[in-house]
Structure 1
Amino acid sequence: MKKDIATPARTKEILAKHNFHLKKSLGQNFLIDLNILNGIVDASGFTEKDGVIEIGPGIGALTEQLAKKAKKVVAFEIDDRLIPVLEDTLSPYSNIEIIHEDVLKADVQSILASSFNDVEHIHVVANLPYYVTTPILMKLLEERLPLKSITVMIQAEVAERIAAVPSTKEYGSLSIAAQYFSEAKKKLHVPASVFVPQPRVDSAVLKLTIRERPLVSVKEEAWFFQVFHACFANRRKTIMNNLVHNLVGKEKKSLAEEALHRADIDPMRRGETLSIEEFAALSDELYDLRN
């Protein structure tokens, strides 16, 4: 068996063999540290009975470590230049399926049904490209896929925002959206030095444990999302101002006032001070009044 992919020498050798040049537009930064990869695998907590989805396998550094422990790995790769590279680097493993598709456009639900019919649980474990982190995470959460957890390496700053609590500067609509569907915990800090090429910022490993049911019960989920997004549209403005300017309109200011009153929320507060439960109450009051 060849040496692990995730070493500086082997990575260099693979890139040279396939004459592969990294594409900045695809956010390609390859991991060259086995300790970090093992940390990601450990943080995810999957077992040999489970299936794992990976997004953006690159040259297969993480994929290889996943395949050593999981029952099956399905990896989505968008870059056609990497398909022959992955076929080469991952040839020793029979439990890996590479899907040459953009995960944002893929019918992930049906792929899970056909590829993971004999596993106990399904987990996502990935080193996500920075430029599509939020859309990918929201797709995985909003589509209500049968996932146990999502463990991803992402930009440290984004991990802070997702795991943030009310009344902190990091807390915002992304925190609420992620925590509505999952329990978010930062697991590891990852320095830029463990990548080739080195990104300009540090990364973090974040684990989202999927909730059996959303954190709060709301009358209309899409409306709830609209409400809290509106309340964070301008962080310096009060909830009242944000609701009027970004949701209900000036002519319906009284509707916003009444909803805030009924939800027992001071209209002079700012969005980042409200808990998810308070946003749920506000959303339901606005929903009733609007209808």
Structure 2
Amino acid sequence: MRKRLGQHFLTDRRIIARILDVAAIQPEDVVVEIGPGKGSLTFPLAERVKHLVAIEYDPFFVDYLQERLLDQEHVQILQADARRLDYVELFLTHRLENRQVKLIANLPYYAAVPILLAILHASQLFQQCTFMFQKEVGERITAVPGQKSYSLLSVTAQYYSKPTYCFTVPAHAFHPSPQVESAVVNMQVFAQPLVQVVNQEHFFRVVKHAFLSRRKTLKNSLITHGQGLFPGDLLHQAFERLHFAPNIRGEELSVENFAALSNELLRLQREERTP
């Protein structure tokens, strides 16, 4: 066990079977697996799917899996950092078809969110994703407006997909046991984002700044952290047109509300610049 990589290996066969059920694995499936480790999911996947590409960061386990699966021509084991991987290039190199690939990932806690964000930014490639996260991350991803866990991560995940919290994984399902529980989350990836936004970068700036000060109202948080991007007079006009309460907070807005706010602010800015 390499503690520096934060590795906890899934050993409970019942949990492994449930993950495969959640992912709805079929014989004709093409699967990308991230974080195979010792192969607790890799070996049953290799027996069940048409094509498997497994991405492992640790060279020790890359060698281990390549040796164990040497005779499986439909399986490729790659050494790569999933946080920085070019997924478009991966698909081209291995002749994977967009929207025809399922992803399964048992992610190390320290790298889970960066890997998730990298995958979401390439979400047009995948049909669905099944992740195992630290429980707290799973709760944030699936939280709805008004819940304490609702955050930038919730909005980002729900902009690109429909996430479902499937089940909790107890610590004793791993060796060595972590100090926290885990969660399996399935994400049905949208062919197009949930909402139409005029400018995606602006949309995510609005969302990010809305959650930087949860104790502040949405308007005050955007003014405080926006560095002039969100003038108070434009926010006042946008809130009135969208019928937002003046004291509304960021955690009360749905993905659709954030999209409407971003689009309205950009429209008002264009109106200001028009002679």
- TM-score using structure 1 length: 0.88
Cα deviations across residues 112-137 of structure 1 (Å, max 9, x unaligned)? 13324479820110111111111111
Deviation, 1:249, is: 3.2
Deviation, 1:254, is: 1.5
For 2:245 and 2:4, the matched residues in 1 are separated by 45
**Could you say which residue in structure 1 is the equivalent of 2:87?**
108
For 1:43 and 1:290, the matched residues in 2 are separated by 45
For 1:165 and 1:144, the matched residues in 2 are separated by 21
Deviation, 1:106, is: 1.9
**Could you say which residue in structure 2 is the equivalent of 1:53?**
32
Q: Which amino acid in 2 is paired with 1:286?
A: L
**Could you say which residue in structure 2 is the equivalent of 1:157?**
136
Question: Of the candidates 187, 209, 212, which is equivalent to residue 230 of structure 1?
Answer: 209
Q: Does residue 1:280 correspond to 2:259, yes or no?
A: yes
Question: Of the candidates 238, 241, 244, which is equivalent to residue 223 of structure 2?
Answer: 244
For 1:190 and 1:118, the matched residues in 2 are separated by 32
Query: Aligned pair in 2 of structure 1 residues 262, 170: CA closer, same or farther (>3 Å)?
Result: same
Preserved CA contact (<8 Å) 1:231 1:239:
yes
Q: Any residues of structure 2 matched to 1:4-43 within 5 Å, and which?
A: 22-43=1-22
Q: Any residues of structure 2 matched to 1:1-291 within 5 Å, and which?
A: 22-91=1-70, 93-117=72-96, 121-249=100-228, 252-291=231-270
For 1:110 and 1:251, the matched residues in 2 are separated by 37
Which SS does the other structure have where 2:205 is aligned? helix
Cα deviations across residues 162-199 of structure 1 (Å, max 9, x unaligned)? 01111111111111100011000011210000111111
Which SS does the other structure have where 1:148 is aligned? strand
Cα deviations across residues 9-31 of structure 1 (Å, max 9, x unaligned)? xxxxxxxxxxxxx2223121111
Deviation, 1:277, is: 1.3
Q: Which amino acid in 2 is paired with 1:77?
A: E
Which SS does the other structure have where 2:102 is aligned? strand
For 2:152 and 2:23, the matched residues in 1 are separated by 25
Unaligned runs of 5+ in 2: 271-275
For 2:254 and 2:42, the matched residues in 1 are separated by 38
For 2:132 and 2:142, the matched residues in 1 are separated by 13
Is 239-248 or 218-227 further displaced after alignment? 239-248
For 1:251 and 1:204, the matched residues in 2 are separated by 37
Deviation, 1:218, is: 0.9
Deviation, 1:111, is: 1.5
Preserved CA contact (<8 Å) 2:103 2:130:
yes
Query: Aligned pair in 2 of structure 1 residues 142, 117: CA closer, same or farther (>3 Å)?
Result: closer
Preserved CA contact (<8 Å) 1:51 1:120:
no
Preserved CA contact (<8 Å) 1:248 1:256:
no
Which SS does the other structure have where 2:197 is aligned? coil
Which SS does the other structure have where 2:226 is aligned? helix
Percent of aligned pairs with the same amino acid: 39
Preserved CA contact (<8 Å) 2:99 2:124:
no
Deviation, 1:46, is: 2.9
Is 204-213 or 111-120 further displaced after alignment? 111-120
